[in-house]
Structure formats: structure tokens, C-alpha cells
A and B are shown apart, each in its own frame.
Chain A
């Protein structure tokens, strides 16, 4: 009886909550209403539905009905060709509506296709070299991981290693195409088997099909393909349009190319260095922009892996989840309008989560070499977190969170809470809340900071006393994690330290010193007074003459 009443209340609450949230969202986002009201592309949508419907019919009747788990013509290359077709249809419909072009002009479309293939190929080459470098590095350190996680981890590792190399070369102004290109070709040659396998798997190998794929999964895949295609074609422009990309991130990449080396000042800019490959290797803004956006594209695969392998979501809902993510306007915006580095950072963060998942898998399997495996995972986790910090300083959040996860697994809740207290202490100690100028509002922040330290230490002591044998192992791992976390950040810190002439402040170490003109009011005033005095003197001299 009571249970039924409770369940009814629960159901009513859920219904009302979902209903109200939806209505509130709707009335706060009238742009969607306008988008539906003024929708201009019914013809394009009908064409796309017909194309999608034909594919679904083919899949349902020719592949699923015959219980085939692979179809020779369904591979990466054919998906790319389909994507090109979607782009061509969209561009033509746009030309018809806005540019008053009746029939498609073959030469224009030939140019368009060449552009798509060219930029696609350049970006693919960079990714291939990253994969090759990643596989080489992981192989060298005999790093073990699951088959499905391997490509994502290899790509992440490859990007990280290339950026380290570029940093080194950048110090000596050696970021030239004739240095980087042979290096990339060399690594592809060294790992030729792996590289060839990558090319084969991504372009020619039939994509494995899941029998449980239904209309929801197929629809999600198809809409995802349309959105990715539209985002991709909008990257083929000679100048970025977004505020942050123009004034900071792509500007930095462009300056790196201009100087063939590092740019002074700024917070660490790992992803801008990676994006600079587009300028250095191919002299193409489009490729640099594609490399900015590629973080989002790679995140699709990382998220799909997490849905399938970690959360065990079925194929249809996994595809739906990926689509829901990629359709979010904030993600779309950064994928083609304002090309920043946050999608790159997201990919690196997802790699960190994947590493945790893979590590836990090993621990759960109860292997004998768990300690050794753990060390390797911790080292890689530290390197990736440090690398992420070099992409954006906000990645520091991930550092504390990973430490929390490690302590939770080894020592449980109390230790996790201790990490929480100490993280809050560290945030306040280094005045990280003062960067967005929030500290001024918190009057007792100092006292709160010390309370958190005391609580954190007490909780750690309690945790250690409770289970001594479970305390020292995560402690050792945390120290190892911290050391390797610092490793990728150290070059940036050293660079900034040298630029500021030995300044040891958090700001100095994190931001360095730019070469921009100084904004000093007193200097301005002095120079102005000097100029006036000079002018007066000149006037007097003229009068004297």
C-alpha cells in the first residue's frame, strides 16, 4: 500500500519535472521556435530523408535479413563518399536558394570535391602520423590495453608526443615543414605495419555491423553523419570567424608558423601547437581549423567507446548518446564557428577517463602483475593530465579528480573525502578562485582553507589507521602520478620562468611574459611629457632662428 503510494508520487514527480523542465527550456530558447517557423530547407531535408531511407531499406533487406555482420561496401571510404554527397546536396540547395543558381555548375562542384578531398587527406595524414607515433610509443613502453581502446589511446598519445617534439623544435625555431614532414614520414615508415593496418581499417575494412541495430541507431548514425559533414565543409574557409579563434588560439598557431618557433607569453598552448601543423606543413588555415575541430570528432569515438565498453549501453542508445552530444549547440559552435581548443581538451580528458576504465579493468581481472600495470597506467595518466594542463589551465580540475578516483578505489570513501578537502585547500591556497576574481566575495576564505586542510589531514589519518595496508599503495601511486603530471608542464613552466626573468608567482609561471606593448599609465604619461617638452624646445629654437 505505502509502496504503491510512494511509487505513484515518484511517477507524478518525474512526469511533472520532465514536463516543466522541457517547457521552461523551450520558453527560454525561442530561437528553436524561430528555426522551426522559418525553416527553409524542406527540399534538402526530403532529399536527405530519401537518401537515408534508401540506405535503411538496403541495410534492412540485404544485410540484416541475410544476417551478415559485414558488408564489403560499407567501410570508412564509402562513409566519406556518402558524407561528400551530403555536402554536395547541401551546397547545391544553398546555391539555389541564396545565390540564384539554377543547375549545378560542374566545375564548381569539381572544385568543391577537390577541396573536400584535399583538406580531408591533409587532416587524415596528420592523424595517421599521430596514430603511428602513439603506437610506437605505447609499444616501446610495452603498454597493455584492450583492443577497442587502443586506437583512441594511440591517437591521444601520438598527439601528445608530437606536441612535445614540436615544443623542443620550437625552442630552436626549427618548426619548418622540411623538418616535420620527414619526421612524420619516418615514423609512418618505421611503424609501417601498424600504419598500413590503420589505413586499411579506417578506409577499406568493412565496418562490423551489430544485428541489434534498429531504426533509432540507424537514424542517430545518419543524422550524426550529416552534422559532421556540414561542420567539415564549413571549416574550408581561409580565415577563422570566431572571436576566440581569431584573437587567441588560431592566432597563436599562425604566429608559431610565422616565427617557426614558440611565441612568448600566454598560458601553455599545446593544442595551438598541434593546430600549427596545418600552417607549417600545408600552409593552410583550413587544415589548422580542421585540427582544432578534430578534437570533437575524436571525442565521438571516445564517447562511443565509453558507452559500449564501460557503461554497456546497447548499440542504438550508444549512437543516440553520441548524437545528442554532437548536436548540442555549444559543441556545434566550437566545431565550425568558433574554433577553440576546448574540444581538443575534451578529447584528452576523455582519454584520461578511458585510461582509468582500462586500468580498473586490469585491477578487476585480478591479474598478478597488477602493481606493475598500475604503475604504468599511473604514469600515462600523469602525462596526459599534465598535457591537458598544457592545453588549458582549467585541466587542473581533472588532476584533483583523478587523485580522488585513485584514492576511492584503494582506500574508499573517507580517503576520497580527504582528497576533496585537500583539493579545496589547494584551490584556495594557490588562489585559483582569484583568477576569475571570485575570492573578493568570500570573506572567510582563508579560515575555510585551513579548516579544509585540517579536515583533510584528519580524514587521511583516520583512513590510514582504519586500513593501514590500503594506505601506502595509493600514496605511492599519488606521488608517482604527481611527478609525471609535472613532467609535461615543466617545459612550459621553465619557458615562462625564463621569460619573466625568474618570477616565481603563480601568474608568472602560468602565463609567462608576452612581447605585447606594456600598458603602464605612468610610462605613457612620462613619454607624453617628454614629447611635449621636446616640441616646446623645438618651437623655441624655431622662434630663436
Chain B
């Protein structure tokens, strides 16, 4: 029975593999014209050699050998040059840009391009690149997606095994890659790093972390050969990632059709709709989850349907359903607790803040709008009044919430959140005072700064942090600028003074880091 299935499977698969090979080969060949060119050159050269041999066979034997050698050397050199050029293209330094800092951080900055895409499903579930409630999609999709495939292949072991193998490969790439990127270490150094952790902590203290670390270590063994292979064909830039992703799409499309074989074409079409949606999201959205909420919602519904709707209840299905219900109940508890902590349970005090005090005071009629704004942005009221008085004064903005409170902000505010423009400007006008004058000459009267701007920087080169540092140098002690307001508190007295004196300021011994600063260009 299984043998027959295997033959049937292989017959089906021949066509599909053929299609995928065509896709990969076609693209690969088209993407690297150098192979075709070199082949053509080789043929021409051999023909020429033959003619020469016929004419001067006897007389120029020695000469011919020398020529051949020289030609071969030339060819080698040309090929080496081409390879070096390709390598240089692949490894050319990546320019920092606001989009790299702002958008690509969700995707991660793995050194191998193909991995950046392949690890997205794991990364968005485990939040390895970005942390926080706003990117947290729970564990259901990643946990149950392979499971619902497997449940459909209870009678098709070959498909079942393929899914298992693929899941393990995906997990090994994702865990190892995320481990090395998070800690900034090379892939080879993962096992010693894990060993250090395992030796440093007791299993009884951190059972979950130690167990996971051991699994990571095991998965790393599977990952290393893949990594070495990928290193050869991929890199920061490459020719193969798109063809690989497209081939995986086609391969899984056929597996998906096998999984859905009992459904009518209408139901299948909507699942295929979701499948295509997910693929395009993967190549376009940089792993930003809210661009693909539809996948999340329909994915959940399909998982629940696959686990709960079935005629015959095998013990595997019953067991899986039990695990699903248990994990759903755990999710309800942690989801509720997290929601009641208002997404910020860092300390016992912050966990009390189910609501904000100013918001509740507003809802119960104690505060009006002005009071709320004053409480949320302490000290900013006067500065904002001044900015709103002169409707022609332009505002240079590096982050902050203020534009919402600035009248006609669409016409007056220049947004430079990732300091891309500032970077260009300071290259032309490096002196801080001159730069302030240049701002004034262009009509800018105010500067708004989010003091936490560099906190979003996840790039390996820390480009935003560097830009922000140079921006702070521009602000520091600049005679042409006047600090109008800030919620940062600094200490005027030495750190160990028993009677500390505090004041609002941007530079000095920081007591409370604050969030914003408003400057006036004099």
C-alpha cells in the first residue's frame, strides 16, 4: 500500500519538480549571463585553435602550446575578474537610509539575504527582531500551521514526512539565525555560547530556557550545512533569493492542493487566495504584521476549522484538539492578564495602570482637554502657544507627537524623523552655528526633538544612533538656539549630593530622561 503510494507520489511529483526546475534554472541562467557568454567564448576559441593547428601543425607546435597557455590564463583572469566583480557587487557596503532604519528593522538584518525572508514566519511569531505588544501575534499560527498539514496527511506518509522535514529545517534556520543576529555572533559561535548559558544556570531555575537552549543546540547541527551552502550562493545581496522563494511557493502550492483534496474548488480558491496573499506579503511587506492582518485572521479561522471540523475522530486528532483547547485557554488567561496590565507590566506599580490617570479624570469630568495635554506633555503648553502664534514660522521636526497640536502642520513642519536630511545638511554646513543660521535663513524658527529617537535603531551599523549623536552635538551649547521646553530633568548638583537640585534641561547629569525638547532658532 505504502509502496504503491510512493510510486503514485513520485509520478505526480515528476511534473511538479520539472516545473520548479524550469523556474529555478530559467531564472538562474537568465540572471547570470556570464555562464552563457563564457560557454560561447570557449567554443569560438576552440574553433580558432583547430584552424591554427591545421595550418601550422608541424612548424608551430611549441608556439601553439605557449599560446594556449596564454589564452587559458587570459580566460582564467577574465573569469576571476567577473567573479570578483560579482563578489564585490554582493558584498558592497549597504548604504544607511531612513527606510533601512525604520522599515527593514521588522524583517531583521541577517547577513544572508535568503534567510531574511525564510525566517520571517518565525521572527514575527517569536518577535525576534522587534519586541512589544504592537507586533505580537501570539503563537497559534506558527504552532498549528504544520500540524493542520500533518493531520491531513495521516494516510499519506510521504507528504507527512516532507512536512516534518521542512518544518525542522525551517525551525533550525530560524532559531539559529535569530540566535546569532540577536547576540551579534557568528553562526559558528552559537554552540559555545549556548554551552556557556547552560553551564551558568540551573535547570530548576530556568527549565524553559534551558530546554529551549538544548533544542537550539541540536537544531544548530542541522543548520550548519545549510548555512555553509547558503553562504556560497547567497550573501547580503544575491541572485537566488527570489527564485528560491518562487520555487518554494510552487512546491508548497502542490502540497497544499493535496492537503485540500477533499474540499470543493470554491473553498480551495479562498485558501489559495490567502496563500498567494501571504507570498506577496512576504516579499513586499518586510515582515510588518499589520500589512498582513488578513493572513492572521483567516489563518486563525482556518486553523480552528481544521482542528475542529471533521467527521471521523482519530486519536491523533482528538489529542491535537485537546492541545489546541488547552493552549487557547492558556492564551485567554495570559491575554486577559496582559490586557488588564495595559500592555506594560514591567513593575508592580506599572501593572496597576489599567488606565491612565489623566484619561480617567477626563472621562469622569475632572479634567478638560487642556489639562490632559498638559499632563501628557508637561511644560510644552507655552512653547506650543508660541509656535501656533506665528503661522508662517516653519518647524523642523525629529520625531515627537507635537505636529498634531500645531496648526497647519502639513504646511509648516518638515519631518526628518530618521535624520536623513540632517545628515546631508551637516555634510555641506558642518559648523553648528552656521547650520542654525541656515535653518533660520530658510524660515525655520523651531526645532522639535524626540529624545528617544535612537531607540528604534536595530541596524548592525547603528547608523541612526550615529546621526542622532551628531544632531545632539549640533544642539549642544549652540548660541543660536534657545531651549523653550523639555520634560527631561537633569541634576545641577554632583551625583552624591545629599540635597540634589533638579531642573529641566537636555544636557547634564540626567535624572529623568524625558521624551522631548523644543528649541527656538534665534
Nearest CB on B from A158, distance (A):
21
Task: List the 7 closest pairs (A to B, CB-CB), nearest first.
Answer: A444-B31, A111-B365, A360-B266, A327-B335, A329-B133, A528-B438, A108-B364
Residues of B within 8 A of A318 (CB): 304
B238 and A239 contact, CB distance less than 8 A: no
A67 at the interface (CB under 8 A from B): no
Contact between A109 and B364, CB atoms less than 8 A apart: yes
Chain A contacts with B in 2-40, Cβ cutoff 8 A: 2-3, 6-7, 9-11, 13-15, 17-18, 20-29, 31-32, 34-40
**In the complex the two chains form, is B428's CB within 8 Å of A525's CB?**
yes
Residues of B within 8 A of A40 (CB): 341, 348, 351-352
Is A366 an interface residue, CB under 8 A from the partner? no
A-chain residues with CB within 8 Å of residue B155 when the two chains form the complex? 3
Question: Residue B10 at the A interface, CB < 8 A?
Answer: no
* Cβ-based interface call for A303 (8 A): yes
The residue from B146, B301, B338, B421 contacting A32, defined by CB atoms under 8 A apart: B338
- B242–A27 contact, CB under 8 A? no
B191 close to chain A: CB less than 8 A: no
Our pick among A13, A35, A320, A447 for the contact of B164 (Cβ within 8 Å) is A13
Which of B291, B293, B332, B348 is the one whose CB lies under 8 Å from A323?
B332
Q: Are B360 and A451 in contact (CB under 8 A)?
A: no
State which residues 348-372 of B face A: CB under 8 Å: 348, 350-360, 362-366, 368-369, 372
CB contact between B290 and one of A14, A112, A342, A402 (< 8 Å): that residue: A342
B17 → A minimal CB distance (Å): 14
Distance in angstroms from A428 CB to nearest chain B CB is 8
Q: Is the CB of A21 within 8 A of B143?
A: yes
Q: Name the distance in Å between A273's Cβ and chain B's nearest Cβ.
A: 15
Our pick among B97, B298, B411 for the contact of A306 (Cβ within 8 Å) is B298
CB-defined contacts of A143 to chain B, threshold 8 Å: none
Interface check B37, CB cutoff 8 A: no
Give chain B residues whose Cβ lies under 8 Å from the Cβ of A438.
104, 283-284, 286
A392 to B133, CA, bound (A): 22
Known A-B contacts A327-B339, A423-B280, A517-B412; the reply to A357 vs B136 at CB < 8 A is no
With a cutoff of 8 Å between Cβ atoms, the chain B residues found around residue A125 in the complex are none
* A contact residues, total (Cβ < 8 Å): 169
Task: Encode contact with A along B287-303: 1 for CB under 8 Å, 0 otherwise.
Answer: 00111111011101110
Q: How far is the CA of A330 from the CA of B338 in the complex (A)?
A: 12
By a CB distance below 8 angstroms, the chain A residues around B286 are 436, 438
With A and B bound together, what is the CA distance between A364 and B257 in angstroms?
Answer: 20
Are A437's CB and B97's CB within 8 A?
Answer: yes
In the complex, per-residue mask of A310-324: 1 if CB is within 8 Å of any chain B CB, else 0: 111110011011011
CB contacts (< 8 Å) of B340 on chain A: these are 39, 41, 44-45, 230
* 110-145 of chain B: CB within 8 A of chain A: 113, 125-128, 133-140, 142-144
- For B355, list chain A residues within 8 Å (CB): 90-91, 94, 233-234
B224 within 8 A of partner (CB) = no
Q: Are B410 and A514 in contact (CB under 8 A)?
A: yes
| B438/A527 in contact, CB under 8 A | yes
Residues of B within 8 A of A307 (CB): 301, 304-305
The residues in A between 449 and 498 inclusive whose CB is less than 8 angstroms from any CB of B are 450-452, 454-455
Contact B104 A436 (CB under 8 A): yes
Nearest Cβ on chain A to B276's Cβ, whole angstroms? 5
Known A340-B290, A417-B253, A444-B31; contact A236-B362, beta-carbon cutoff 8 A:
yes
Q: How far is the CA of A219 from the CA of B276 in the complex (A)?
A: 35
> A10–B304 contact, CB under 8 A?
no
Q: Is the CB of A444 within 8 A of B215?
A: no
Is A22's CB under 8 angstroms from B327's CB? yes
B250→A517 contact, CB < 8 A: no
Question: Which listed residue (A23, A455, A531) contacts B23, Cβ 8 A?
Answer: A455
Does B470 lie at the interface of the complex (its beta carbon under 8 Å from any beta carbon of A)? Answer: no
Q: How many A-B residue pairs have CB under 8 A?
A: 487
Using Cβ atoms and an 8 Å threshold, which residues of chain B touch A239? 369, 372-373, 376, 404-405
Chain A neighbourhood of B339, CB < 8 A: 227, 230, 327, 332
**Nearest B residue to A522 by beta-carbon distance?**
B428
Interface stretch of the complex, out of A53-61, A149-157, A244-252: A244-252
Binds A, one of B39-47, B56-64, B204-212, B495-503: B204-212
Q: Pick from B74-82, B316-324, B483-491 the stretch touching chain A.
A: B316-324
Partner of B408, one of A24, A258, A400: A258
Check A91 against B363 for contact (C-beta < 8 Å).
yes
Confirm or deny: A349 has a beta carbon within 8 angstroms of a beta carbon on chain B.
Answer: yes
Enumerate chain A residues within 8 angstroms of B365, measured Cβ to Cβ.
107-108, 111-112, 115
Q: Does A299 contact B (CB under 8 A)?
A: yes
CB of A6 within 8 A of CB of B160, answer yes
Q: Chain A, 217-230, contact with B by CB distance < 8 Å: what is the 0/1 string?
A: 00110010011001
Smallest distance from the beta carbon of A481 to chain B beta carbons, Å?
Answer: 13
Please determine whether B401 and A94 come into contact, CB atoms closer than 8 angstroms.
Answer: no
Query: Within 8 Å CB of A420, what residues of B?
Result: 249-250, 253, 276, 279
Distance, CA A314 to CA B309, complexed state (A): 8
Docked Cα-Cα span, A17 to B250, in Å, equals: 25
Contacts of B426-455 to chain A: CB distance below 8 A: 428-429, 434, 437-444
Contact present for A353 and B157 (CB under 8 Å)? no
- Does A419 sit within 8 A of B, measured CB to CB? yes
Q: Which of B22, B100, B351, B428 contacts A38 (CB 8 A)?
A: B351
A324 partner residues in chain B, CB cutoff 8 A: 138, 140, 300, 304, 328, 331-332
Judge if B481 is at the interface, Cβ distance under 8 Å. Answer: no
Q: In the complex, how many angstroms separate the beta carbon of A308 from the nearest chain B beta carbon?
A: 10
A516 with B410: in contact, given A353-B270, A353-B298, A438-B286 (CB under 8 Å)?
Answer: yes
Q: Tell me the smallest distance from the CB of A64 to a CB of chain B, in Å.
A: 21
Assess whether B297 is in contact with A237, with CB atoms less than 8 Å apart: no
Residues 364-389 of B contacting A (Cβ, < 8 Å): 364-366, 368-369, 372-373, 376
Q: How far is the CA of A334 from the CA of B343 in the complex (A)?
A: 12
Assembled-state Cα–Cα distance A465/B113 (Å):
39
Selected contact of B264 from candidates A111, A364, A447, A527, CB within 8 Å: A364
Task: Enumerate 22 A-B pairs (CB-CB under 8 Å) in ascending A order.
Answer: A3-B2, A14-B150, A24-B215, A27-B212, A28-B126, A40-B352, A111-B365, A237-B358, A238-B362, A238-B368, A238-B369, A246-B401, A307-B304, A311-B302, A313-B304, A330-B135, A360-B270, A397-B284, A400-B276, A436-B104, A524-B428, A525-B438
Does A243 have its Cβ within 8 Å of any Cβ on chain B?
Answer: yes
- Which of A132-140, A199-207, A274-282, A408-416 touches B? A408-416
The one of B32, B127, B328, B354 that contacts A41, using a Cβ cutoff of 8 Å: B354
User: Which residues of chain B are within 8 angstroms of A184 by Cβ–Cβ distance?
Assistant: none
In the complex, A424 has a CB within 8 A of chain B: yes
Task: Say whether B334 contacts A312, CB under 8 Å.
Answer: no
Q: Which of A95-103, A163-171, A370-378, A502-510 contacts B (4 or more CB under 8 A)?
A: A95-103
Given contact pairs A243-B401, A299-B297, A448 touches B438 in the complex (Cβ within 8 A): no
Q: Identify which of A38, A107, A216 contacts B347 (C-beta below 8 A).
A: A38
Across-interface contacts of A41 in B (CB, < 8 A):
340, 354
Whether the Cβ atoms of A398 and B277 lie closer than 8 Å is yes
The answer to the question of B201 belonging to the interface, with a C-beta cut-off of 8 Å to chain A, is: no
Q: Which of A37, A325, A447, A454 contacts B31 (CB 8 A)?
A: A447
